[in-house]
Amino acid sequence: MTFDLADFLATAGVGRRIVHLMPKEAFFSQGSVADSIFYLQTGRAKLTVVSHDGRKVTIALLSAGEFVGEESLASVGRLHMATGSAITACTALRIERGEMIRVMHEQHSLSEMYLKFLLVRSMRTQADLVDQLFNSSERRLARILLILSEFGEPGEREHWVPHITQETLAEMIGTTRSRVSFFMNRFRKLGLIEYNGRIRVHKSLLNVILHDQLPERNAEQPPTIVDTARSQSRQTRHV
C-alpha cells in the first residue's frame, strides 16, 4: 500500500489522534514527560519557558505545518523543556513517540519532511540568538513584527499580525511591556505600522530599517529607528 504523507498527518490512526485546543490551553507543560509529538494542522501556538525565579519568556511562535514537542523523539523518559500552548484555537495531530519513530524509519517522505523542519527551526533559533546578542530592543521588536506579519491567514493581502499581547512581545525580545508600548507608539507615529486593536505592518518600511547598515566603528552609537526615518524623510524632500 502506498504511503500518503498528507493523509498520515491529517487523520487519526494507530498511535495518533486528533486533538483540539482552545486559546491558552497547553499541548504539554514544562517538566512533563515528553512521550508524544504534535503536528499543528490549524491555528497558532507558542513555546514558553519559566525560570526558577518565576520569569516567563516566549522562545518561539508556531504556525500550521510545524511540529511541537520534537524533544520527545530524543530519548525515552525525556522531559519537555518548555510549555507548548495555543495562541488561537488549534487542531493538531498527536503522534506517540514510538509510532513517529517507526514511520520515520519506514517512510523516507516523512523523515525527509521532518529533517527539513528541524533545519528551518535550527536556522530560526540561530537568527533569534544573533538578534538578542547584537540588536537593540527596538530593532528586535521591529524584526518580531515583521516575522509575525508572515503568520497571517493564507490569501490575506494585508500584512496583519495575529492577535498578540504587548506582554508576549516583551517576553520575546527581553524587555518590559512599557518599553514595547513606547516603541509601538513610535512605530505608529512614523507610519511603520497601524495599531488599533490589531497590528498592520508596512513591510517595505520595516525592511528598509532592519537591513539598514550600521554606522562606522568610530561612531558613538548606531542610529535608532527615529534617526533612520528622519534621514529618509530628508532624502525624500530633496528629490
The pLDDT assigned to 19 comes to 97
Q: How confident is the model at residue 61 (pLDDT cuts 50, 70, 90)?
A: confident
**What's the whole-model pTM score?**
0.72
Is it the case that residue 211 has pLDDT exceeding 80? no
Average pLDDT over the chain reads: 82
On whether both 89 and 162 belong to a single domain, the answer is no
Task: Say which CATH number the domain at 116 has.
Answer: 2.60.120.10
pLDDT, mean of residues 29-34 = 94
Lowest mean pLDDT among 35-39, 84-88, 188-192, 232-236: 232-236
The pLDDT assigned to 217 comes to 37
On whether both 90 and 150 belong to a single domain, the answer is no
On whether both 99 and 142 belong to a single domain, the answer is no
On whether both 110 and 151 belong to a single domain, the answer is no
Of 149, 163, 154, the closest CA to residue 210 belongs to 149
pLDDT digits (tens, 9 = 90+) for 177-209: 999 999 888 888 888 888 877 788 887 666 666
Tell me the torsion sign for CA atoms 182, 185, 189, 191: positive
Lowest mean pLDDT among 7-11, 105-109, 214-218: 214-218
Q: The domain containing residue 233 runs over which residues?
A: 135-238
Is it the case that residue 76 has pLDDT exceeding 70? yes
On whether both 98 and 65 belong to a single domain, the answer is yes
On whether both 139 and 127 belong to a single domain, the answer is no
Q: Identify the domain boundary among 131, 153, 185.
A: 131
User: Quick one: cell of 51?
Assistant: 525560570
pLDDT, mean of residues 94-99 = 96
On whether both 191 and 90 belong to a single domain, the answer is no
Residue with cell 524587555: 175
Is it the case that residue 218 has pLDDT exceeding 50? no
Q: Identify the domain boundary among 116, 131, 146.
A: 131
The pLDDT assigned to 53 comes to 87
The pLDDT assigned to 161 comes to 80
On whether both 105 and 16 belong to a single domain, the answer is yes
On whether both 170 and 107 belong to a single domain, the answer is no
pLDDT, mean of residues 12-41 = 95
The secondary structure of residue 175, as a DSSP letter, is S
Question: Does an H or E element contain 113, and which?
Answer: helix 108-134
On whether both 80 and 146 belong to a single domain, the answer is no
List of residues 6+ apart from 180 with CB closer than 8 A? 141, 166, 169, 170, 173
Is it the case that residue 216 has pLDDT exceeding 50? no
